Structures are given as C-alpha cells and as structure tokens.
Amino acid sequence: MKNPYKAQNIAFFFLFLSTLLIVVPVGLIVVIIVQKGLPGISWQFLSDIPRQGMRAGGIFPAIIGTLYLVSGAIVFALPIGLLAAIYLSEYSKDNLLNRVIKLAIVNLAGVPSVVYGLFGLALFVVFFKFGASIIAGSLTLGIMVLPIIITASREALESVPYSFREVSLSLGASKWQTIRHIVLPNAVPGILTGTILALGRAAGETAPILFTVAAFYLPRLPNSLFDQAMALPYHLYVISTQVPNVDEKIRYGTAFVLLALVLLMNLAAIVIRNRFRKKKKW
C-alpha cells in the first residue's frame, strides 16, 4: 500500500515549486524597478512637464493622462458589465444561445490588446470621428476590460446562495428588489475583484492607446475629452526605444511610477472590497 503522506508531500513540493516559479521572477522585476527607479523620483519629476524631447523634466502630463484613461474606461465598462452580468446570471435561461454568449465573453478576455486597438481605431477614431482623443482611448480600454468585469461579476452573483433569493421572494419582494437589496450587496466583493483586475489591465496596456489617444510628445495637459493625451505605458515605451540618450533614472523612474500607480489603485479597491466583505452574513 502506498504511503498517502509521501504522495501528499510530493504534491505540496511541486505546488510550492510552481509558486516559486511565478513569485520569484515577478519579485525580481519589482526589486530591479524599485532599486533603479527610486533614485530618479523627485517632486520635480512627478510635477513637471517633459522637456528637451523627453530627456529631461517630468512626467506629470503622462500621469494625468493615464488617470483620465483608466477612469473613463471604468466609468464606461463597470455599469454595462454589471448590467450584462445581472442579465446573464438572474434573467437569462440556460439554453444553447446563452451558453455560447458566456463562452464568447470568456474568450474575449483573452483577445490580444492590439486587436482592441485596431477595433477602437476603426470604430471610434474613424467611424464616429472622435479622432485620436481621450474619449476614443477610454472607450477602447473600456471595451477591452468589459469581458473581465462581466465574467467576474457574473461569478460573484452566482456565488450568492439561492436560498437568499427564495426567502426574499417568499416575503413578497419582486425579482428586481431581490437583486437590488439582497443579491448585489452580497456580490459586491466579487464585483470589486473584477474591477481591480480591469484597473490593472487598463492602466498597463500600450497597444490600444497607441492607436486611439497616445501622443508621442505633448508637454501640456488635455483641455477636453477630444484632446490627445500622454500616458505612462506609451511614454515608457517611447523613452525606452525611440528616444536616444535618455537617462536610465528617467526610464526606470517612469516604470516605478506606473507600477506604484497601479498598486495604489488596486490597494484602494481592495480596501473598499474588504469593507464590503466584512458586512457579509455568510
């Protein structure tokens, strides 16, 4: 008879090894970015406009442009994604058409970002004639993160015990009242998890904004939603590959700011999610 503890220890070893293969490279990347980027961080770097063809000055317009794009993407994608998730989870019937729709949504989450960039270029920049602008970039990013929000929100809604719905309906509440006051409050932590994932992807993508909004060198802040804007991912790409003789501190400092910005947005969402999670009754 085989020793079950030996098999368990072997399984734990391979699981631990798999975890290390993921955590160690990511940790090394973060350490290198922090080590080389932190010396380049200063108030002038964070608050000044780029100068001398982006070889000097700061990255303030790129920070503001990134915040505009991410905020616009979430404002567009979250309501639509949540409503779609409510329909798929609470109203749609389990038939072939809806199973195909759910599968298509999951598959869309894995489509390369450059495809979304070309789609945004054709639809928002050319067809709707928004031009290269913040609204075109935000809508493109919103469509890109929409499958993530729909999938996470649907799973969060379906994780709420069905007995909650039965009790609410038995007390005379309508289906929408049950969803609004019973299902949604208990699903908020899972919905925010999807929003966190969407924030991270929207803030770090380069290809969609390359086609729809990003400017190579724009040492001023945008005045409206129809203006072009700089963004940290594209700015980092440009100074790393297109502009010669850029100080290493500027490149790694920009990467550090982008990493810190994504981390801060995620931490804020996690704090909000944990507050809602503490209110759960199950």
Mean per-residue pLDDT of the chain = 88
Q: Which residues pair with 50 in a beta bridge?
A: 57
pLDDT score, position 1: 46
CA dihedral sign of residues 103, 106, 110, 114: positive
In a domain, 106, yes or no: yes
In a domain, 90, yes or no: yes
Q: Assess contact for 201 and 275: CB atoms under 8 A.
A: no
Tell me which of 29-33, 40-44, 233-237, 244-248 is least confident: 244-248
pLDDT score, position 281: 60
CATH of the domain at 229: 1.10.3720.10
- Segment 202-222 shows an average pLDDT of 86
Radius of gyration, CA atoms only, the chain: 22
Residue-wise pLDDT tens digits, 33-83: 999 988 888 888 888 888 887 778 889 999 999 999 999 999 999 999 999
pLDDT score, position 35: 92
Q: Assess contact for 37 and 253: CB atoms under 8 A.
A: yes
Supply the range of the domain harboring residue 249: 59-279
User: Hey, what amino acid is at 66?
Assistant: T
56 vs 162: CA distance, rounded Å: 59
Instruction: Give the count of domains, the chain.
Output: 1
Return all residues near 78 (Cβ < 8 A) that are at least 6 apart.
Answer: 149, 195, 198
pLDDT tops 80 at residue 5: no
Other beta carbons within 10 angstroms of residue 122's beta carbon come to 12
In a domain, 82, yes or no: yes
Residue-wise pLDDT tens digits, 103-153: 899 888 888 899 999 999 999 999 999 989 999 999 999 999 999 999 999
pLDDT score, position 263: 87
Residue-wise pLDDT tens digits, 37-46: 888 888 888 8
Query: Phi/psi of residue 256, each to 5°?
Result: -65, -45
In a domain, 54, yes or no: no
In a domain, 39, yes or no: no
78 vs 157: CA distance, rounded Å: 15
